[in-house]
Amino acid sequence: MEMQSAPESYVSIPRRALDIEDYIDIIRRHKAWILGPMFGALVITVVLAFLWPDTYVSSAVIRVVPPQVPENYVPSNLNMEMSQRINSMAQTILSRGVLTNIVNTFNLYARERQRKPMEDVVEDMRRDIKIGNVVSLTTQGQRGVSAFSISFSYDNRIMAQKVTADLVSRFMSENTRDRTTQSVLTTQFLKDQVEAAKKELDTVEDKLARIRQENAGRLPDQIQNNWAQLSALENRVANLNGAISRTNQEKLVLESELRTIKNQLAALKPPTDQTVMSQKSERLERIDREVQNLENQLNVLREHYRDTYPDVQRVQSLLKVARQRREQVAKEEAEKGTESAPPSPVMARLGMQYERDKQTYEGQIQRVEALIRQRVMQAEDLGKELRSVESQIKTVQARIAQTPIGEQQYSEVLRDRELAKLKYEDLNKKRSQSQIAEELEKRQQGETLEVLDPASLPQSPIEPKRPLIIAIGAALGLVLGFCLAGAREAKDTSLKNLKDVRAYTQLTILGSVPLLENDLVVRRRKRLAWLAWSTACLVGIIIMTASVFYYYAFYATRM
């Protein structure tokens, strides 16, 4: 390349703006520095991606089943909400002892246990376990836990499923044990409180019983009862006197009736020929007298009793029968008239009538005598009861005459008794409800946990995302290569092309001569570059293939 003679002095000239051809020349000149970091990063990310163990997540969902018996029928004796119980159970299950048992049972974290203490391994496992709440709206509009999920992350998908299933079973058993234990403890506490309240009530009852026993009839709340009892006894005396008077009157009436019946029986005579001749008129007169006597008895009874009284009704029925018989006899006399000579059948009929009348009077006499004896016994019983009531009146009057005890002291004892009784009844009611709730928990009919979704068997790992990692690594290597190429280009101040010559020398270019190099040197340099790149690519491919092979071999053995 030929140029005009340069001036003797130089000045600082800023770099010219680069165009697309310049960028292409830069990439062509520094392609090794661009592709080298990119390929190295690709190899490194492939190795890291395939040496990074897979992580599988097995999850399960547990549903909170509400009580089978409504709470307005059997209220629960547990005051802890399900969300709080889930947190409490999670703290218990995620404790060091439980997790250590799980690790030893399933032989988890074998490599980590060789280089870490058990506390660190347990902490790693605690981070791999996730307990999440599935929140739903309750009927009152408040948020409550209706279900929650359990998940475990591990590099073996089968072990992840087994551990998740074991955690689910531990949650189920821990919930049953926890609810039953709390219910039993609540019932036992209430039982102790009921026994203490019963002792307190018995103490107050004993004190009240002693006061009542020592001051029987003289208590403040018994004054009104004594007066009421005295008034009732006096009314009873008046009623008994009235009953005795009525009984005596009934006795007198029955005795008068007995005399009348005896007189009628004495006036009854057997039939003769003369009586047969005058039987019709005498029968009518006798029936008239009987009717008259019954009417007199009825009038006497009505002076003392009402028509519903049994004796009044009995005399009324006898009077009705007598009147009917009188009408029948009068009708017979009117039809047949008076005969001169009584036939023998008439004598037989009169004799039979005489016997019937005699038996009737004798039966009435026995009945009236039995009623009289009954009235006498009633009078005696009423007299005994009257004497007993009068004795009770004297006792109550003597009790009223005594001075009652202090009203304030007695009121305090009564108030203490009522308070102790209310406390005992309230605690006893709560204990009964707690026992029912405890029985409900033992039958597992309360709020329980149910496996909604069992532990899943993961099919694909959630991490690492190998294609994304490899792509990001290659992109970072490419960016690093461009940065290195740019840095080298910035440090290189030589003129690269005619544009640089024109821009930096400000000379007119008359011609250019290409650079002539030894072909042997050029070929040697190319062979060395090809050998280096081939070796690097081969080594990189071998490393990546080995990592991929190791991954699949290790994954196959763990499946």
- The structural domains of the chain, with segments of one domain joined by +, span 2-49+483-558, 56-194+430-453, 224-404
- The dihedral built from the CA positions of residue 141, 143, 145 and 149, taken in this order, carries a sign that is positive
Looking at the structure, give the CATH architecture of the domain made up of residues 56-194+430-453. Answer: 2-Layer Sandwich (3.30)
Torsion angle of C-alpha atoms 58, 105, 95, 120, degrees rounded to 10: -90
Q: Which helix (H) or strand (E) holds 510?
A: strand 509-511
At 343-395, the pLDDT tens digits run: 456 556 666 776 777 778 777 888 888 888 888 888 888 888 888 888 888 87
For the beta carbon of residue 234, count every other beta carbon within 10 angstroms.
14
Confidence (pLDDT) at 152: 92
Yes or no: say if 77 and 183 are a contact pair by the CB < 8 Å rule.
yes
Q: Which of 41, 48, 43 is closest to 464 using CA atoms?
A: 48
Would you place residue 408 in the very low, low, confident or very high pLDDT band (cuts 50, 70, 90)?
Answer: low
Residue with tokens 């740019």: 486
Confidence (pLDDT) at 339: 47
Q: Which helix (H) or strand (E) holds 156?
A: none
List beta partners, residue 130: 151
Which of the residue ranges 24-33, 138-147, 487-496 has the most confident prediction, judged by mean pLDDT? 24-33
- Rounded Cα–Cα distance for residues 181 and 183 (Å): 5
- Rounded Cα–Cα distance for residues 63 and 134 (Å): 9
Confidence (pLDDT) at 254: 81
Confidence (pLDDT) at 340: 44
pTM of this structure: 0.51
Confidence (pLDDT) at 165: 92
99 against 532, higher pLDDT: 99
Q: How much of the chain exceeds pLDDT 70, in percent?
A: 77
Looking at every residue in the chain, the average pLDDT score rounds to 77
- Rounded Cα–Cα distance for residues 355 and 360 (Å): 9
- Rounded Cα–Cα distance for residues 26 and 28 (Å): 5
Contacts of residue 432, defined as CB under 8 A and 6 or more positions apart, other chains included, come to none
